[in-house]
Amino acid sequence: FLSTGDHVISGNNGLKDSLLALEWVHNNIKLFGGDPEKVTIFGHSSGAASVAYLQLNPKAEGWFKGVICQSGTHLGSWALQREPRKTAFAFASLLNETFQTNNHTTEELLKYLLSVPPEDLDRASNAFYFDHIFNDIAEHASNMQGSYFGPVIELKSEEAFLTEKMYELVRDSKYVKVPLMIGFTSEECIEYYADANRTKRDMEDYDAHLEWLVPVNMEITDEANLTRMGRLIRDMYTNGEPFSEHLDGGLRFCSDNLLNRPMMKHAEFNSKFAK
């Protein structure tokens, strides 16, 4: 899912691979005793976002007859990479400090990464994830409002997988219309907060930066209004007290914000075609 935000590394290679695999299944499932007219695509978490993305691609029309999204959706803020060029250069800088200046072209970045041994790329990728995401989930969720390595909205081309925003596509019914099963569990984000000390630290960060609680799609830019809205959101989960004193409320907020809320919106849009 590396992307430079241009045609050099357009991005979405993972989704393009999935689309190719789906086509292969459609063309060959008969050889394994399957029925190409009864294929259901099913994913969990990021996999749920992946199958939802497949539903947005018109090339997949006829290749599946149902979709199951468990604990995930492409409408979640985490399911889209919003600053791909910045991310690509930040990643490359872990391997070569000269990329920190961003004076290189995207062509030079691609040429360099192709010269790096795969095992070095893998180590850098893991370091990038843990340094920039896992160790500071609260700040990451606010500042990036999306994945570091995830789907992107590409420039238009014949090879592009996605060139329009997911929300608008689903809202305007521009997707493959098949039956959808979608659902989530209680406390979806609990796996990220198995460490109580880190959970408390993240909740203290939220208390100190209430503006981080406001979803980016609310399009509030005024700092005072952001803080005011963030306080209103927190108070819904804590009865007006800090998250650091109500870790369970913070967990429910994270679950609602990252998964439950976008999944309910996804279901709402699809319900227009339910029978």
pLDDT tens-digit map of 182-193: 999 888 888 777
Q: How many residues does the chain have?
A: 275
Instruction: Label residue 135 by pLDDT band (50, 70, 90).
Output: low
Can you tell me the mean pLDDT for 5-10? 95
Tell whether the model's pLDDT for residue 136 goes beyond 60.
no
Among 123-132, 205-214, 219-228, 235-244, the range scoring the smallest mean pLDDT is 123-132
> With 90 as the cut, is the pLDDT of residue 41 above it?
yes
pLDDT digits (tens, 9 = 90+) for 89-122: 989 998 998 888 768 999 999 999 999 999 999 9
Is 45 among the residues known to form the active site?
yes
Q: Contact at 8 Å (CB) between 154 and 12? A: yes
Query: What is residue 202's predicted lDDT score, i.e. its pLDDT?
Result: 86
Q: Which of 154, 137, 170 is nearest to 253 (CA)?
A: 137
* Mean pLDDT of the chain, nearest integer: 89
Q: What is the pLDDT of residue 141?
A: 53
Checking if the pLDDT of 139 tops 60, the result is: no
Per-residue pLDDT tens digits for 208-218: 999 989 887 77
Q: Which of 45, 71, 77, 244 is catalytic?
A: 45
The number of beta carbons lying within 10 Å of the beta carbon of residue 195 is 10
- Could you identify the residue written with the tokens 């369970």? 248
Phi, psi (degrees; rounded to nearest 5) at 221: -115, -25
Estimate to the nearest angstrom the gap between the alpha carbon of 85 and the chain centroid.
Answer: 16
Give the H/E segment covering residue 107. helix 106-115
More confident residue, 190 or 43: 43
93 DSSP assignment: H
* Local confidence band at 275 (pLDDT 50, 70, 90 cut-offs): low
To the nearest 10 degrees (0 to 180), the angle between helices 247-255 and 223-238 is 110
Return the pLDDT at 45.
Answer: 93
Strand 180-183 and strand 66-70: the pairing is parallel
Q: Which pLDDT score, from 0 to 100, does residue 264 have?
A: 95
| Angle 105-108-111 from CA coordinates, rounded to 5° | 150
> Which domains are present in the chain?
1-190+263-275 (3.40.50.1820)
User: Would you place residue 199 in the very low, low, confident or very high pLDDT band (cuts 50, 70, 90)?
Assistant: confident
**pLDDT tens digits for range 149-172:** 899 999 999 999 999 999 999 999
The pLDDT of residue 101 is: 73
What CA dihedral angle connects 159, 165, 87 and 109, to 10 degrees? 20
Q: How much is the pTM?
A: 0.88
Q: Which pLDDT does position 188 carry in this prediction?
A: 86
The DSSP element (H or E) to which 182 belongs, if any, is strand 180-183
Look at residue 193 in the predicted model and tell me its pLDDT.
75
pLDDT attached to residue 131: 67
Taking the CA atoms of 267, 210, 82 and 71 in sequence, report the sign of the dihedral they define.
negative
